[in-house]
Amino acid sequence: MNLSAHPPSRFDLRSAALAFAASYTLLVFLMLMGVSHARTSFDQDNFHLKVIEQFSSQWPRFDLRDYLSATTPGYHIALATLHRFVTESILALRLLAAMPTAAIIAVLVGLLAARRGVTEGFALALPLLCCSYILQSGLYLLPDNTAWLLVLCIIGLALCPVQSARRWAIAGALLALLVLVRQIHIWAAAAIWIGAFISIPRQTWHNWRSAWLGGLQRETDVAATAILADWPAALKRAIIAAICTAPAFAVLAGFMLLWGGLTPPLFRNTPVEAGENSATNVSGLSPATPAFMLALLCIYGVAMLPLIWPRARAAAKHRWFIIGLCLAAGAGFALAALPETNHMVRPRVGGLWTIVKAMQDRGLTLFGRTSPLILLMSTLGAATVFALLALCGRQARWVLLTVLLAFMAAGSAQALSWQRYFEPLLLMWVALAAASREGEPERITGGRLIGPALLALGLATLSSLAFWGLTG
């Protein structure tokens, strides 16, 4: 790869600005047209809006000991400040709160376009814009998309092969803000650590770029040689990066002490079988979540196969690739076979779980506890993940693998395996993985983009049905 022409840290600002304008225009249009969604509107009116109004009346002495949101209060405090000093209009607040949603698409397009060109960048980001959970949260006062924006920015910083203390400090500050918005996303710290460990120091990069121009043929060769030659320095970088993430852990520890747990008491003490008008109990574990995520990645990852097919076909000639596919598939099978993967009324909601429930109602289960759909799709999904990662450059491979494993661990550490908690990150993940494949940006034909286009069309259809009240 021509490093001088395509710097590893490049971000396509022009494409990002265009994506922001288009996304925000779409959200404003939908809002002004009166498009609504019952579940998201319910969550806004009965939980998040009440917290915003409560904090607005208490400003600046907020009572953070218990309130009607399972998340940390950063988003609600920001909106409460706008509510108190700028406008009390709910529509105006919604219009302002839609900006982080448009910014997610902008940042993703900027990262993708820098790696693979404008056409592929927009095509890979389009499924995320069409995702019903992104659109729903973007139209209402919910903290979800603000958190996803911060997560994506942190991943983007971690993916830069050239790292520095300044980058780690910025990433650490973003992580602290992220934990103030949604505490469960503390897992993103792992991306910062591994990004620092795997990275090439700025001076080393300049030294080895000259070597590359003298004959090295792959960026990963540069990274691998630099790391092997400087193992103590790699560990030192990771330790410094970990220190930069310490404030986020301090924020989380402070709220845990205040609440006596990981969430406000309302979301721990409510009976699990309580009705929809009650705060949902999030305490517990969800061992089926990794298999469920892999099942979703089976769908999203397969859509990326046309883009990676030429390189995957070449890699398939090597024994290590076939062995890796088989081992990954075996791991995906085990993750789905060991825990119970049948549908459960409260902990497993939305999307793919609806199909699992329909099959379960017709007696299509294995041993009364295992969904054959989740079992098959988890197996194929794990193999797809391996294929995507195997074709990535070294930096992206390890960062994206760490992101996925850390996200799975965090998702399993709470009771709710709801698709809306996972889909946005997984759509970002497959887009970044597909765009991080090694080699020069090649000429992309319409046929190569058919997978992302069909995925976006399918997600847009589901979003339309959701707004019409025909799906969740």
Q: Concatenate the DSSP letters of all residues of 223-278 into one string.
A: HHHHHHHTHHHHHHHHHHHHHHTHHHHHHHHHHHHHHTSSS-THHHHS-TT--TTS
**pLDDT of 220 over the 60 cut:** no
Of all residues in the chain, the percent with pLDDT exceeding 90 is 74
**What is the Cα 373 distance to its own chain's centre?**
23
pLDDT at site 448 = 84
Residue 351 confidence class, pLDDT cut points 50, 70, 90: confident
**pLDDT of 156 over the 60 cut:** yes
pTM of the entire predicted model: 0.91
More confident residue, 355 or 441: 355
Mean pLDDT in residue range 140-167: 95
**pLDDT of 25 over the 80 cut:** yes
Nearest of 150, 141, 142 to residue 103 by alpha carbon: 150
Residue 57 confidence class, pLDDT cut points 50, 70, 90: very high
- Supply the mean pLDDT for the chain: 89
pLDDT at site 270 = 62
How large is the greatest C-alpha to C-alpha distance in the chain, in angstroms? 67
Q: Which of 72-81, 105-114, 307-316 has the lowest mean pLDDT?
A: 307-316
Provide the Cα torsion 456, 460, 463, 465; round to 10°: -130
**pLDDT of 3 over the 90 cut:** no
Decide: 135 and 463 in contact? Cβ < 8 Å: yes
Rounded (to 5) percent helix, strand, coil in the chain = 70, 0, 30
Q: Which of 199-203, 292-296, 359-363 has the lowest mean pLDDT?
A: 199-203
**Domain spans, the chain:** 1-142, 166-280, 284-441
Which stretch of DSSP H or E encloses residue 163? strand 162-163
Structure tokens at 184: 């469960």
pLDDT at site 91 = 96
**pLDDT of 217 over the 90 cut:** no
Query: For residue range 315-324, what is the model confidence (pLDDT) as tens digits?
Result: 999 999 999 9
**pLDDT of 157 over the 50 cut:** yes
Which stretch of DSSP H or E encloses residue 162? strand 162-163
pLDDT at site 9 = 43
Q: Say how far apart CA 120 and CA 118 lie, in whole Å.
A: 6
Q: Say how far apart CA 414 and CA 417 lie, in whole Å.
A: 8
Query: For residue range 239-292, what is the model confidence (pLDDT) as tens digits?
Result: 999 999 999 999 999 999 999 999 999 888 665 454 455 566 777 899 999 999
Mean pLDDT in residue range 144-163: 95
Which stretch of DSSP H or E encloses residue 29? helix 13-32
